[in-house]
Structure 1
Amino acid sequence: MRKPLLITSLGLVAALALAGCSTDTDAPSGDDETAWPESITISLVPSVEGEDLAEALDPLTAYLSENLGIDVKGVVANDYAATVEALGADQSQVIITDAGSLYNAIERYDAKLVLRDVRFGATSYAAIAVTNNPDKYCADEPALSNYAASGIQLSYCNGIEEAGADAKGVGPAGLDALAKVSGANVALQAATSPAGYQYPVVAMREAGIDTDADIKQIPVEGNNNAILAVYNGDAEVGFAYWDARTTVTSEAPDIAEKVVAFAYTDMIPNGGVAVSSSLPADLVKKLSELMDGYADSSEEAATVMFDLVGLSDWTNKTADEEITRYGEILAEFSN
């Protein structure tokens, strides 16, 4: 989890207001002849500590300012919801935020999704269902596939991975097997966890399971503990991000033998970048291209990007439907 930083939600709006955003400028205009603003403000929640904010933000905003020919300011939000409210109040025109906040910005303020976060080559990830009872949940014999990120082999069944090949981690897959979970002890994480609770609960419900009455929920904290609960026999089934089994190999070196992945949920989206509908289309296009190319612009940029927001890249392949699905699932847990 990222730590709350310098500015509260109210303080954020006040600080952003100081930045201003005038539209009286002779900067380039788009096809609709809308003038570019003299400045724009980016709101984000960095991964770094407060005293490093200027150092972390300056390279990105300087890069954008130089290449756009307008002043690009960066302002820190203390949480993701604050980025949405800042955009809605036109105190920021660009937000770098999580998937839920992207959905809210689009639905509430007509924001445009322009980029998705890339972490280790992926813009989304599945939650895995794992078990210590493959005879019950696997329609075929578990087989080993290579988890390339860690260079280890892990066991999968129900055809969710190809035996002997690199695992892909692409869902949904094997979800019919969740209909068999009735009566089982199931390790679930906090209700705010997409991979450890929300997507798995929705998947079980769609498989016909009453998650309040048909299973015994075993509360755990963290993906590693969800896996260990299954490994240790405290739960028959558990859920975590793909593939959290790699986090417990030191204490469970035989994890591939004892804990088998038998299903993947729908893909859970990374966050990304959204822009205000008030920005000229040609400015949005240029801004998106620059941000998409930032990580490749220099070794320093790649380091800054990882340190700033924990990313390896951005991509213009936004997969909007994944964000929409995420919003639908969030709505089921809004109360």
Structure 2
Amino acid sequence: MFKLSKPSKSMRVAVSTLAISTLALVGCSSSDESSSSSSASSSSDAASQWPESITLSLVPSTEGEDLAEALAPLTDYLSENLGIEVNGVVASDYAATVEALGADQAQVIITDAGSLYNAIEQYDAQLILRDVRFGATSYSAVAYTNNPDKYCDDAPVAASYAASDVDMLYCNGIETEGQAATGEGPAALDALEKIESGDKVALQAATSPAGYQYPIVAMQDLGMDTDSAFVQVPVEGNNNAVLSVLNGDAEVSFGFWDARSTVLSEAPNAAEDVVAFAYTEMIPNGGVAASKSLPSDLVEKLTELMDDYADSSEEAKDVMFDMVGLSDWTADTAQDEITRYGEILKKFSN
């Protein structure tokens, strides 16, 4: 990659001396020349404040291949367009991206919503981009059931889930029949009050936003005692949350929108036999945060480049999806959603 080298100190001194001598010989220059010289000097000063390199830390979804190679198209793109070296490092988990930023081992992090919140709160990081998956920067947790007669106030209707191009069933007006499903919450949360003390409800780990945290908060907001209002059935993963209802191990389960798509290859009947009947408030996708140590003009250019990356080439789209499971980034950060997520995280921090 071609890199612009900065002038040495001795060269700058020599140039300055020559400029002073020339002014002494020729007197004053025109105002336009003076203005141009001043602007060039200011630009040079601003550029000299940029670091020679920055490091980007992320947790890729890529497995079983050379991760450095997987990162290279993105870091090469940024290096070429910023004119400084951009290095990519793989973090062991999302929390490690925050630790790297706090220790100045990374100046840019691609991470989940909770880690974005922590980076902002702990290290005054700047939220610059949000992740986009299939056109959305957030998603709801979905309440699923195998007993629509109990939890649905109307007959379930079919709506298409665009990500898998499959019609699935929804009730309580959360989707419109024959239309593309939107997954917009909150919707029909009152239906959760129909859960009775002996009912089995499948819940994922307490660290899962869609499989535990947002559903628990929704039920508590309805005045339900989530410790005694039902029988908890522990499951691991969104696919197993759906299968628990499909197989009759639980009457209700929770997962991300729309987790039924994760089991359709093995259980295509999940599209009809598992009905979505309520949506929680929206859960934010992750995004990109930058260290407060970076110059503002560098952050502005970095934001622009990453925002445009998915549209820069067909390869970029593939790299982005394969590397972090995204279709795009957006500068519309909706930081209030990240703040709300942080509030919910605090409820489950102990």
Contact (CA 8 Å) 1:295, 1:313: kept in 2 or not? yes
Whichever residue aligns with residue 188 of structure 1, its letter is: L
Separation in structure 2 between the aligned mates of residue 81 and residue 329 of structure 1, nearest angstrom: 17
Does residue 233 in structure 1 map to residue 248 in structure 2?
yes
Q: Which residue of 2 aligns with 1:177?
A: 191
**Shift of residue 149, structure 1, vs aligned partner:** 1.9
Contact (CA 8 Å) 1:68, 1:286: kept in 2 or not? yes
**Alpha carbons of structure 1 residues 254 and 315: separation in structure 2 relative to 1, 3 Å:** same
Show CA shifts across 1:281-301 (max 9, x none).
Answer: 111111000011112111222
**Alpha carbons of structure 1 residues 142 and 307: separation in structure 2 relative to 1, 3 Å:** closer
Contact (CA 8 Å) 2:264, 2:271: kept in 1 or not? no
Separation in structure 1 between the aligned mates of residue 77 and residue 272 of structure 2, nearest angstrom: 49
Contact (CA 8 Å) 2:205, 2:234: kept in 1 or not? yes
Separation in structure 2 between the aligned mates of residue 66 and residue 236 of structure 1, nearest angstrom: 54
**Equivalent residue in structure 1 for 2:53, among 39, 54, 66:** 39
Contact (CA 8 Å) 1:139, 1:157: kept in 2 or not? yes
What RMSD, in angstroms, separates the aligned Cα atoms of the two structures? 2.4
Q: Which residue of 1 aligns with 2:239?
A: 224
Q: Sequence identity of aligned pairs in percent?
A: 73
User: TM-score under structure 2 normalisation?
Assistant: 0.82
Does residue 291 in structure 1 map to residue 291 in structure 2?
no
**Shift of residue 51, structure 1, vs aligned partner:** 5.8
Contact (CA 8 Å) 2:50, 2:298: kept in 1 or not? yes
Q: Which residue of 1 aligns with 2:90?
A: 76
Which protein is bigger by CA-based radius of gyration?
2
**Equivalent residue in structure 2 for 1:247, among 262, 265, 272:** 262
Whichever residue aligns with residue 93 of structure 2, its letter is: D
* Secondary structure, aligned partner of 2:280: strand
**Shift of residue 250, structure 1, vs aligned partner:** 4.7
Contact (CA 8 Å) 1:203, 1:265: kept in 2 or not? yes
Contact (CA 8 Å) 1:130, 1:238: kept in 2 or not? yes
Separation in structure 2 between the aligned mates of residue 319 and residue 28 of structure 1, nearest angstrom: 37
Separation in structure 2 between the aligned mates of residue 87 and residue 107 of structure 1, nearest angstrom: 12
Show CA shifts across 1:197-229 (max 9, x none).
Answer: 111111111111111111100112222222222
Whichever residue aligns with residue 156 of structure 2, its letter is: P
**Shift of residue 236, structure 1, vs aligned partner:** 1.5
**Equivalent residue in structure 2 for 1:96, among 91, 110, 115:** 110
* Secondary structure, aligned partner of 1:293: helix
Whichever residue aligns with residue 44 of structure 1, its letter is: L
Q: Which residue of 2 aligns with 1:152?
A: 166
Separation in structure 2 between the aligned mates of residue 75 and residue 232 of structure 1, nearest angstrom: 42
* Secondary structure, aligned partner of 2:128: strand
Whichever residue aligns with residue 200 of structure 1, its letter is: P
**Alpha carbons of structure 1 residues 186 and 92: separation in structure 2 relative to 1, 3 Å:** same
Contact (CA 8 Å) 2:186, 2:281: kept in 1 or not? yes
Does residue 202 in structure 1 map to residue 217 in structure 2?
yes
**Alpha carbons of structure 1 residues 249 and 97: separation in structure 2 relative to 1, 3 Å:** closer
Select the structure that is richer in helix.
2
Matches for 1:316-327 after TM superposition, within 5 Å: 316-327=331-342
Question: Structure 2: any 5+ residue segments left out of the alignment?
Answer: 1-7, 13-39
**Shift of residue 74, structure 1, vs aligned partner:** 1.7
Whichever residue aligns with residue 137 of structure 2, its letter is: T
Separation in structure 1 between the aligned mates of residue 46 and residue 267 of structure 2, nearest angstrom: 63
Whichever residue aligns with residue 81 of structure 1, its letter is: A
Q: Which residue of 2 aligns with 1:121?
A: 135
**Shift of residue 61, structure 1, vs aligned partner:** 1.6
